Structure 1
Amino acid sequence: MAKDLNKVQLTGHLGADPEMRYTAQGSAVTTFRVASNRTWRDKDGNTHEETEWFRIVAWDKLGEICNQYLTKGTRVYIEGRLQTRKWTDRDGQDRYTTEVIAQDMIILSPKGERGPVPDVEPSYEEPVDETVRRIPPPANSRPANTPPPARTPASKIPSRNQPQPIDDEDIPF
């Protein structure tokens, strides 16, 4: 019997700085949005461009690395899997969101260079998740007008090619 496949590979620019939180059990979870552009020509030769926004979720060490090294405008390669989850909003309505659960990340922007970020806002509503808490920036964080730290070589970013066991206590919803 053939195996199923759930794999996403994309490149694009971050639309905002990542946000890192911790679950009640202490697992780091970082979220950010990546804009990926698609360009094509129609039958009349006119060029069209469309921007697709992806919500990315990175857990544990990869989440900490993303939070530390990524900023708005950074061009990245993300590899992971799609996951759709359901929650109930404050009005009692069922809501759904589809996310890319990152398993690998490579920074594509050269050191100190940030690419353009489309002015298009994503068309989905961010879920309110009460089980994670926003963390303040560390005391040794850099001021907003200073360059980011040196790029981490791709070989030092942990790869998550093998599925990691997940305890029900680690899931924030």
Structure 2
Amino acid sequence: MAGVNKVILLGRLGADPEVRSLPSGSKVTTFSIATSEAYNNRDGQRVEQTEWHRIELWDNLANIAEQYLHKGDSVYVEGKIRTEEYTDKDNIVRKATKIRGTSMTLVGGRSNEGGSESAQAVPSQQSRPAPERTPAPTPEFSSNTGSDDSDDLPF
């Protein structure tokens, strides 16, 4: 039986990304992002709940994250849940849940800069400038002077 393992997160970085280069030449960048939701509890009090997610990006995405992500930045990440087992220094087997990012989009500019900046990275593509966007053509409306029929609509 096939299944789906997909995670979509939009949150803010809690710290600058940590970058490691492996002997194989691969690069891995890890960071945590916080997602929050607010709701009113049964007593009518406003409650905010924050979840922290450990993100892991590899190779090209790791390079982009290293270059552009900083503490406090907003980032949109899509990926898969991965649970890994490891033995800590006291020989206790522990589990860690991470999100292995498969795509990432930088959302807005840094919190200390004005304006908005957006970039997108896809792991299977090389980093390249975003394509120029041309504005949609403005529809032209003309008056129908050749007819006295006021029920004629332009569509």
2:152 pairs with 1:153: no
Q: Does 1:65 align with 2:64?
A: yes
1:4-153 equivalence runs, <5 A: 4-109=3-108, 111-113=109-111, 153=119
2:37–2:48 Cα contact (<8 Å) kept: yes
Compared with structure 1, are the counterparts of its residues 25 and 159 closer, same or farther at alpha carbon in structure 2 (3 Å cutoff)? closer
Kindly state the Cα deviation for residue 80 of structure 1 after the two structures are TM-superposed: 0.2
Instruction: Quote the sequence identity (%).
Output: 39
Offset at residue 45 of structure 1 (A): 2.4
Q: Shift of residue 108 of structure 1? A: 1.1
Specify whether residues 27 and 84 from structure 1 end up closer, same or farther in structure 2 by C-alpha distance, changes over 3 A only: same
Distance 2:110 2:58 in 1: 25
Give, in angstroms, the shift of residue 97 of structure 1: 0.3
| TM-superposed deviation, 1:152 | 6.1
By how many angstroms is 1:47 displaced?
Answer: 1.1
Kindly state the Cα deviation for residue 151 of structure 1 after the two structures are TM-superposed: 5.0
Give distance in 1, aligned partners of 2:41 and 2:118: 40
RMSD: 1.9
Distance apart, 1:59 and its partner CA: 0.4
Provide closer, same or farther for how the CA distance between residues 69 and 91 of structure 1 changes in structure 2, counting only shifts above 3 A.
Answer: same
Q: 1:75 to 1:152 in 2, by over 3 A?
A: closer
State the alpha-carbon separation in 2 of the partners of residues 151 and 6 from structure 1: 30
CA drift at 1:43: 2.9
Q: TM-score, normalised by structure 2?
A: 0.72
Q: TM-score under structure 1 normalisation? A: 0.65
Structure 1 residue 42: Cα displacement: 1.8
Q: What's the offset of the Cα at 1:153? A: 2.8
Judged with a 3 Å threshold, the aligned counterparts in structure 2 of structure 1 residues 21 and 152 are, in CA distance, closer, same or farther, namely: farther
**Dislocated runs of 4+, deviation >3 Å:** none
Alpha carbons of structure 1 residues 152 and 41: separation in structure 2 relative to 1, 3 Å: closer
